[in-house]
Amino acid sequence: SKGWKCHQLLLRWWSVMAGSSFQGQLQSLIIGGRDASPHSRPYMVSIQKGGSHICGGSLIKERWVLTAAHCLPCQGEEALKVVVGLHQLKKYDPKQVFSVMDPIPHPSYCHKTMEGDIIPDLAFRSCLQLDRKVAPNKITKFIQLSKEQDLGIQCSVAGWGLSKEGGKLSPVLRELDVKVMDARMCNNSRFWNGGITESMICIEGVEKGSTPWTGDSGGPVVCGKKAKVAGIISFTDGKVDVFKPPVATAVFKYKEWIQKTIARADL
């Protein structure tokens, strides 16, 4: 279908900058930051293909994980798995692994602009139609969605990504403090030059030299004292560049659609 073709992104980023056409690899990378305390982010999940981590995500309900649409495999590729309650990337019980049902990208999503790069994956049902719900416990919990743009307040990202270019995946969950940039600044000619829409937010590391250089694609931008998902890491320039800050999908713009999508599927 037309909608299916629209989200068949081959793990690459087509520039949203007007008049430009660079490619940047979508890979997991948090430069700077620190190891997270074990299970301090119980909503974090690892989205995997072939036993390898490819994207992050956030657990928002018993059977729902929020991630980026570009994390989906193309037709014919190996199906995704979701691992919950994870701190060490390679250390988990098989009970923590779930299969993914048919994903539902936002109807406006298109890989050429990354607009609507958001997807609540109806997860946790195997190909054998064995429904399973994620039971909240000490290491697995749900996280709420933000209802407003969290401009300027303390936020953070987390993931099992590389800590330096050319490195390996982190064996444990890492986290980084970030803040949401002013959209006008992010859109000026020195930065993304008008390529950022109202459904996107730009983020930057709080510490000098730190950056969530995709900070695990699909992972959440978490803001506020009560920790809510304000964004979903979407794309970057493919290299560390202070003038090309990482971009996330603004969750508050899609909150109503997310809630309606979940309600319809859960009937």
Per residue in 185-241, pLDDT tens? Answer: 888 887 777 778 888 888 887 776 666 554 478 899 999 888 999 998 886 655 556
Tokens 């030059």 identify what position? 193
Identify which has the larger pLDDT, 167 or 143.
143
CB 75 within 8 A of CB 91: no
Point out the catalytic residue in the list 70, 87, 106, 111: 70
pLDDT at 17: 24
Chain segment 49-90, per-residue pLDDT in tens: 888 898 899 999 888 888 887 777 665 567 788 999 999 999
- Write down the pTM of the prediction: 0.78
Structure confidence at residue 39 as a pLDDT band (50, 70, 90): very high
Spatial CB neighbours of 145, under 8 Å, sequence gap ≥ 6: 60, 66, 228, 229, 251, 252, 255, 258
The topology (CATH level 3) of 144-252 is Thrombin, subunit H (2.40.10)
Point out the catalytic residue in the list 106, 117, 199, 234: 117
To the query of whether residue 40 is one of the catalytic residues in this protein, the response is no
pLDDT at 141: 96
The topology (CATH level 3) of 2-10+41-142+254-265 is Thrombin, subunit H (2.40.10)
CATH 2.40.10.10 in the chain is located at 2-10+41-142+254-265, 144-252
d(CA 92, CA 98): 12
> 256: buried, middle or exposed (CB in 10 Å: 19+, 13-18, 0-12)?
exposed
Tokens 């990354």 identify what position? 114
pLDDT at 15: 26
To the query of whether residue 217 is one of the catalytic residues in this protein, the response is yes
The SS3 call for residue 112 is: coil
Point out the catalytic residue in the list 15, 156, 170, 217: 217
To the query of whether residue 106 is one of the catalytic residues in this protein, the response is no
- Please state, in angstroms and as integers, the Cα–Cα distance from residue 136 to each residue in 78, 127, 159, 222, following that order: 28, 23, 20, 19
